Structure 1
């Protein structure tokens, strides 16, 4: 997959840090940047006091819409200054509709990116991630604060567990993997089986990638009782990886919310650029 259109989603209350980071990413990759600004509408008042506070609620919504417009204008000026191939859209939606709104827009990109400012939000980042991964089924790149982000990573760690989600992530990241100098396929506590990992866990995906010209090695590591996500992130740090590639939401979103999981851990606290797909 060659990434020709990159979508960056930001909140209407954010500053321009995430957009600037996405601009640098697209300039280095000669890609078109689409910016989507999301405004989350306050829920309508209900109950006995609805009539009393309805005016305040309307005023809040009007202020949000005005702020959203100001944000669009500011970002348009920023994009024009850089002379980058780009477009910008905005949407003002209820919280429950944010996933779908993002998903509809993300269907027209090759890759969506979330920057550090959006990652610092509590709820919007999950709405955006769900919209991209479920409603659009596009890959998502998490760009943590302070990390050097590139679409030409030299060293990649792939978290592999033979699931459909992991296979999809590898396929979506294939263009990055092929060009990397060092690709490490990491399996945490792998078990041999005829249906999943086979007699030599990781060998099948390594052979597949090697046929594409990737420089791959397979590393099987023990968790020592730690969560798989923490083990993978530590392994990626130890390897000085430029990017971690993972399948997203191998379990249901409900189970992820209730018990946690690798995907939730990465969205909450990515330490290096993390490429997710499902």
Structure 2
């Protein structure tokens, strides 16, 4: 893991996800790219007859705020020991982040809390980014301001292609972890085979323990998070939206639930 991409946006969680990204870069001697995206289309208005104009005063205020954020973050980065660069871009946030992820190993964004001050909270982009990013995506929950790659890691396993992608993309972090736990959750506790994942990791020098858990009174997402919490895991590795996203919306799903509620960082791939 040598190239880490960080979403820069002036929200309440920026400093926390910046620190998480810096911790990861120090652990793996990685380069940090700070990507600050201005959603230019949000400040453009369309007249009924086809004319387009920019709300100049609003855009100028946005630029000034972004400049302040950049100066503040650059001062902090200049005092550290991590190699970094800064990219400023205009355009749709999700599309810009996804495009930049093509040659990144990890993209760090914040969890969308879904409540609170709409101005200061992270953007609601986690669903789209997790599905379309070309690299692993680390979702940092509110209040998480550090990442210890030497802590245990938990893998939520259901033998899907998405889970397999997550497993492969997480290899650097799994190698650094003090222990690795492959967890499947089903009504009978043995719904999904885990041996193939265990074998794959062993070929890459990663020892792992297998766990088959039942859902009992909790959802699969709740069972996974409780398991990861008890083991003080640094992150929960899992595939993003293993079923169609339409069915996830109608029926619920582990990805959707954890994206909203997890207090543990989620390392996702689709």
Q: TM-score range by the shorter chain?
A: 0.7 to 0.9
Alignment deviations for residues 63-95 of structure 1 (CA, whole Å, 9 cap, x no partner): 1123223322332232222242101112233xx
1:267 matched residue in structure 2 = 259
Q: CA deviation at 1:170?
A: 0.7
Whether 2:221 is the aligned partner of 1:248: answer: no
Matched residues in 2 for 1:99 and 1:121: separation? Answer: 17
1:223 matched residue in structure 2 = 215
> Which stretch shifts more, 69-78 or 166-175?
69-78
Report if aligned partners of 2:114, 2:260 keep a CA contact under 8 Å in 1: no
5 Å matches for 1:205-220? 205-220=197-212
Alignment deviations for residues 218-245 of structure 1 (CA, whole Å, 9 cap, x no partner): 1111112532111111111123322211
Identify unmatched segments of 5+ residues in structure 2: 116-120
The verdict on how the C-alpha distance between 1:209 and 1:148 changes in structure 2, with shifts beyond 3 A counting, is same
2:26 matched residue in structure 1 = 27
1:238 matched residue in structure 2 = 230
Q: CA deviation at 1:147?
A: 5.9
5 Å matches for 1:131-142? 131=129, 133-134=131-132, 136-142=133-139
Q: CA deviation at 1:177?
A: 2.1
Matched residues in 1 for 2:187 and 2:168: separation? Answer: 21
Matched residues in 2 for 1:31 and 1:133: separation? Answer: 24
Matched residues in 2 for 1:16 and 1:243: separation? Answer: 19
5 Å matches for 1:22-61? 22-41=21-40, 42=42, 44-45=44-45, 57-61=55-59
1:109 matched residue in structure 2 = 104
Alignment deviations for residues 221-273 of structure 1 (CA, whole Å, 9 cap, x no partner): 11125321111111111233222110112123344344432222222222122
5 Å matches for 1:113-262? 113-115=108-110, 119-120=112-113, 125-127=123-125, 130-131=128-129, 133-134=131-132, 136-144=133-141, 145-146=143-144, 148-150=146-148, 152-189=149-186, 197=192, 201-262=193-254
Report if aligned partners of 2:156, 2:238 keep a CA contact under 8 Å in 1: yes
Report if aligned partners of 2:43, 2:58 keep a CA contact under 8 Å in 1: no
The verdict on how the C-alpha distance between 1:132 and 1:271 changes in structure 2, with shifts beyond 3 A counting, is closer
The verdict on how the C-alpha distance between 1:75 and 1:241 changes in structure 2, with shifts beyond 3 A counting, is closer
Q: CA deviation at 1:47?
A: 7.3
> Which stretch shifts more, 159-168 or 26-35?
26-35
Whether 2:75 is the aligned partner of 1:77: answer: yes
Specify the SS of the correspondent of 2:255. Answer: helix
TM norm structure 2: 0.82
Matched residues in 1 for 2:43 and 2:232: separation? Answer: 45
TM norm structure 1: 0.80
Matched positions, count: 260
RMSD: 3.1
